[in-house]
Amino acid sequence: MPDHTITLTVDGAERTVLVDTRTTLLDALRERLGVTSPKKGCDHGQCGACTVLLDGRRTLSCLKLAVAEDGGEVVTAAGLAADGALHPMQQAFIDHDGLQCGYCTPGQVCSALGMLDEVRAGHPSHATADLDAEVVLDDDEIRERMSGNLCRCGAYAGIVAAIREVATAEGLTGDAAGRAVGQTAGQTAGQTAGQAAR
Ligand code: FES
Ligand code: FES
């Protein structure tokens, strides 16, 4: 099979790598570039452990061919911690015990941030009762929208609580009390990646 040289921006750094055209984005990151934040759980698009933000959208990197993403911008959970400071979503996962073994956690964090952007953009989910109304991110909505990310050891209660805290701080849960906090917590993945690049 032919090889192809691609360039990706990964967590703010431009990386060029020669890949077999059959190589997935996940394998290019982990095996070729040494970026081990995204995890390989199922390798079949069923567990979410490999989730990264690709050009700002949550993406299962095991289902993407690396050559098709030449020129793309990848943000992993590791890239969210700018200058050693945890992203508010990362901190919330710690504060709410949203992890046990931690294997699914990088994917959960990236997926949560991508999901919040989808809510801001007004995307409905299967749990959205009124498609004409503004989405209110209650716990049922969080569970449904995060249902593609599995946690084998059962940290779901903490994961939902962590996401709820950040979503509330950003004014997405209909709880106005959190909006003031949101000015610090409302740090988008794109902003953080940009900081990491500097
Ligand atoms: S490793 Fe990609 S979804 Fe499981
Ligand atoms: S924390 Fe163990 S699989 Fe999620």
Question: Ligand 2: distance of its center to the CA of 103 in Å?
Answer: 5
Are residues 164 and 109 part of one domain? yes
Residue 32's CATH number: 3.10.20.30
Q: Is the pLDDT of residue 67 over 60?
A: yes
What are the backbone dihedrals phi and psi of residue 15, each rounded to the nearest 5 degrees, phi first?
-130, 135
pLDDT tens digits for range 95-129: 999 999 999 999 999 999 999 999 999 999 999 99
For residue 191, what pLDDT band results from cuts at 50, 70 and 90? Answer: very low
| Protein residues with CB under 6 Å of any ligand 1 atom | 40-43, 45-50, 60, 62
- The reply to whether 49 falls in a domain is yes
Higher pLDDT residue, 95 or 198?
A: 95
**Ligand 2 nearest atom to the CA of residue 100, by list position:** 1
Same domain (yes/no): 93, 67? no
Q: Tell me which residue has its CA closest to atom 4 in ligand 2.
A: 151
Angle in degrees, CA 191, 30, 48, rounded to 5: 70
- Asked if 21 and 65 touch (Cβ cutoff 8 Å), the reply is yes
Q: Which ligand is nearest to the CA of 40?
A: 1
| Whether residues 99 and 36 fall in one domain | no
Tens-place pLDDT, residues 6-24: 999 999 999 999 999 999 9
CB distance 77 to ligand 2 below 6 Å: no
Does residue 181 register a pLDDT over 80?
Answer: no
Contact 51, 58 (CB under 8 A): yes
Pocket flag, ligand 2, residue 104 (CB < 6 Å):
yes
Look at residue 152 and tell me if it is in a domain: yes
Q: How many CB atoms lie within 10 A of CB 88?
A: 23
- pLDDT band at residue 4 using 50, 70 and 90 as cut-offs: very high
Distance CA 6, CA 15 (A): 8
Residue 83: pLDDT band by 50, 70, 90 thresholds?
A: confident
Which one of 46, 79, 112 terminates a domain? 79
Reduced 3-state DSSP string for the chain:
CCEEEEEEEECCEEEEEEEECCCEHHHHHHHHCCCCCCCCCCCCCCCCCCEEEECCEEEEHHHCEHHHHCCCEEECHHHHCECCECCHHHHHHHHCCCCCCCCCHHHHHHHHHHHHHHHHCCCCCCCCCCCCCCCCCCHHHHHHHCCCCCCCCCCHHHHHHHHHHHHHHCCCCCCHHHCCCHHHHCCCHHHHHHHHHC
Q: How confident is residue 1, by pLDDT bands cut at 50, 70 and 90?
A: low
Residues 150 and 95 in one domain: yes
Asked whether residue 96 falls in the same domain as residue 75, the answer is no
Q: Does residue 68 carry a pLDDT above 50?
A: yes
Q: Is the separation of the CB atoms in 24 and 62 below 8 Å?
A: yes
